[in-house]
Structure 1
Amino acid sequence: MSETVAFVGTYTDTESEGIYRCRVDEPTGSIDDIELVAATDDPSFLAVDPTHRFLYAVNEVDTGAVTAYRITTGNDLEEINRQSIGPADPCYCSLDRTGNYLFVAHYTGGAVSILPIDDDGSVNEPTVTHHSGSSVDPDRQTAPHPHSIVPGPDTDFVYVPDLGTDDVVVYELDRTAGALRERTSVSVQEGAGPRHIEFDSEGSRAYLINELNSTITAFEWDRRSGELSPIETVSTLPNEFDGDNITADIHVHPSGSFVYGSNRGHDSIAVFELTENGLERLEIVETGGSWPRNFCLGSSGESLWVANAHTDTIVGFELVGSDGTIVQIGSSVSVAKPVCLRPVYPRSSDRVA
């Protein structure tokens, strides 16, 4: 694959000023030329629409906001509009398969939002749904904390891991009303703290990373009903590790054969092979920095880039051969508090109606 770019979301409480852009290359995994492209406050999570014409950033602040940008042909960002969304600390955003709706999870606000998107990429006022409940951790689970919101592939089901309640709530997008309707939910182990969820390329399984107990849960996914059925749960840590750790991000390889999860504390990427019975751990690799809050795979599955939030670096890795294992290649860039990476590839045509 030819050279492309990645946009970088950051926390702006230190030296960062907003959203940055860097150059990345597949299959080498190299990364360079980082520069500021949009000044904004705490753009901690980014989403790119299906046509790669628009980028959306949550502003993780007490009042809560989303900012919409147009991606120019030179891969600069032009602000379209900023929309207040109410509940505090939006921490994750994603788009439906048509690019007509933006979904947002509010961690501190204990809610999820849906925002209609106009043809020019601008976001409209949200419809907000509040979660309820709690779980067993006295520090992190006294209230609901939706940590991500992810549409199931090629369906209108939308999945919300709630770290505060130990549930994954399943919604269905009502396109007529522009609203999310709760359909079902599935609970994980008490104190697990579900954070992010990803689906495999065949659309038959889902993989959930649990922040508080450093595990990944594999599910069978029924795309007709939207239901998730647990298969097994495995640790992301070496057996001998007894230090403090919380997990962060998870991604499935484009081939559908491997899954990767990040450890904060152990500061590593855990690599698993996807098997008929669940997950088999292949290796755990240091990230070349501290606190890997987010990472991304290249679209061809030949490279991986890790955002180390506490050491202010983004580090490149190459996938070796066809066995899913990764090797750090010595290529990195420096930027304050990197917490989200979003590659952008050559754009496709019009949005789906």
Structure 2
Amino acid sequence: MSVNVSTRRQFLRGVGSGTLGLTLSGTLHSPSYGSKRPQELLVYVGTYTTGKSEGIYLYRMSLSSGELKHVTTIRGVVNPSFLTLDPERRYLYAVNEVTDFAGKPSGAVSAFAINRKTGKLQFLNQQPSLGGAPCYVTVDRTGGFLLVANYDGGNVSVVSIERDGRLGGVTDADQHHGSSVDPVRQTGPHAHSIVLDQTNRYAYSCDLGTDKIMIYRFDSKKGKLTANKQPWVQVKPGAGPRHFTFHPSGRYGYVMNELDATVMAFTCDSARGTLKETQTVHTLPEGFSGMNTTADIHVSPFGKFLYGSNRGHNSIVVFEIKARTGKLRFIQHAATEGRTPRNFAIDPTGTFLLAANQ
């Protein structure tokens, strides 16, 4: 497993090999952050256990030095390749990226309670995701539902969350349809992510296989998804949309296209849930001719910068975000000091970036 810690200007260190999902919890002493700058964060790292990794790895990270200390490993969790937290940071949810669960063609999602003092995880329960190879999960802003993107299944699903953090049943699912031009990666739908906007009323799912960003209205009382009046955005054929992220203002959105190594900028209408493309930029330096696919994308906590990961070039690309338009201006490429940076995370103060090198 390899986790690399970076400031905006300089990478500090890395450890191991095979990392995937990253999520940051609150401090050990003040999980809600409050008005004081936290001194230490809990870092949860998800992995593929079909390789050499053993489950979910827990670290403590110093916010003064960026130093990571391994605390424990939560074993017995199969392929927890993507992780997320509930809004109050009391529970952690992980995908189980498999294609067969309980004898059916489905993956699963698992729930854990977080010990507020130590950060250690207690397994609560597990539920099917109703689609093969779940690769992305999001908790809605009420903490009542988990939204799941199933890559092999080509669909998205919604799972209820009980008051004690346990997962209930599936409340809704939507199957994507179609294909695109890549003869290997785009023969059918591949839902790669699903996120909610700041209003909690609209959900956006990037489908790599169909070159579409699906847009849903989300009912946070019933856990239901319905097609928005603008039901999708069609991106360039062969682009392969993977991850979507919002600017903190809610006015702008950004999509990372995996196959053609581009980022698309959009203006967002929070009242109608619609997207309008304003710009497309490349993530690679001019003249680079090696193999590369992009992966993760995040906006800095204060909305000034956009970051994206290049797998192959093995870098984080950094853009400045123009406040008035949301458009991007290239700043730099920073090496991740490891191979295949699949996911990454930025600490709440905006000081450190942690790159997970697969």
> Match for residue 275 of structure 2?
228
Look up the match of 2:205.
160
Q: Which moved more, 1:29-38 or 1:296-305?
A: 29-38
* 1:137-195 deviation line (CA, Å, top 9, x unaligned): 11101100010000011331011010011110011112343211111211111110000
Q: CA RMSD in A?
A: 1.1
Question: 1:106, 1:112 within 8 Å by CA — same for their partners in 2?
Answer: yes
Hey, what's the Cα distance between the residues in 1 that align with 2:330 and 2:316? Answer: 11
Q: Equivalences for 1:53-72 in 2 at 5 Å?
A: 53-63=90-100, 64-72=107-115
1:251 aligns with 2:251: no
1:343 aligns with none
The residue number in structure 2 matching 1:78 is 122
The equivalent position to 2:353 in structure 1, one of 293, 304, 311, is: 304
Say whether the 8 Å CA contact 2:309–2:316 is kept in structure 1.
Answer: yes
Q: Which residue in 2 is equivalent to 1:100?
A: 144
For residues 175 and 274 of structure 1, the distance between their equivalents in structure 2, rounded to whole angstroms, comes to 31
Tell me if the contact between 2:297 and 2:307 (Cα under 8 Å) persists in the aligned partners.
yes
Deviation for aligned residue 1:222: 0.4
Which fold has the larger relative contact order, with Cα–Cα distance below 8 Å and residues 6 or more apart in sequence? 1
For residues 171 and 111 of structure 1, the distance between their equivalents in structure 2, rounded to whole angstroms, comes to 13
Question: Of the candidates 70, 74, 86, which is equivalent to residue 49 of structure 1?
Answer: 86
Residues 35-46 of structure 1: pairs in structure 2 closer than 5 A: 35-46=72-83
Q: Tell me the TM-score normalized by structure 1.
A: 0.86
| Residues in 1 aligned to 2:145 and 2:328: alpha-carbon distance in whole angstroms | 33
Distance of aligned partners of 1:180 and 1:27 in 2 relative to their CA distance in 1, 3 Å threshold? farther
Q: What amino acid is the match of 2:63?
A: E
1:30 aligned to 2:67?
yes
Q: Is the 8 A contact 1:85 1:125 kept in 2?
A: no
Gaps of 5+ in 1: 310-353
1:264 Cα deviation after fit: 0.3
The answer for the alignment partner of 2:40 in structure 1 is 3
Q: Tell me how far 1:125 sits from its aligned partner.
A: 1.6
Deviation at 1:86, TM superposition (A): 2.7
Return 280-289 or 152-161, whichever deviates more: 152-161
Q: Distance in 1 between matches of 2:110 and 2:139?
A: 14
Distance 1:95 1:257 in 2: 25
Moved over 6 A (4+): none
Contact 2:314–2:335 (8 Å) recurs in 1: yes
**5 Å matches for 1:129-144?**
129-144=174-189
When residues 241 and 168 of structure 1 are mapped into structure 2, their CA distance, relative to the original with a 3 A threshold, is: same
Count of equivalent residues: 309
Which stretch shows the higher mean deviation, 32-41 or 70-79? 32-41
Identity of aligned residues (%): 45
Distance 2:84 2:331 in 1: 30
Instruction: Decide which of 250, 254, 259 is 1:203's aligned counterpart.
Output: 250
Where does structure 2 lack aligned partners over 5 or more consecutive residues?
1-37, 101-106
Say if 2:332 is the partner of 1:288. Answer: no
